[in-house]
Amino acid sequence: MSRGKMRENIYLFSSASTGHFYTSSKNKRKKSEKIELRKFDPIVRKYVLYREKKMK
């Protein structure tokens, strides 16, 4: 793999089903499991769980 191909762009979608998402990237070699973070959802105005989905 070339040097710039180690990071993968991902979406973090809200579990509150509002359609809100954050974008991020992660190191494929160090983090093989899916990311789950508690972040603020401005639509419901609460902190909710965001789960990773791949960008197409």
Q: What pLDDT tens digit does each residue of the chain (56 aa) get?
A: 556 678 899 999 999 999 999 999 999 888 789 999 999 999 999 999 999 998 87
Position 37: which residue type? L
Give the CA radius of gyration of the chain. Answer: 13
Question: 32 exposed, middle or buried (CB, 10 Å; 0-12, 13-18, 19+)?
Answer: exposed
Q: How many structural domains are present in the chain?
A: 1
Range of the domain at 13: 3-54
| Number of CB atoms found within 10 A of residue 12's CB | 18
Q: Are 18 and 2 in contact (CB under 8 A)?
A: no
The CATH number covering residue 26 comes to 2.20.28.120
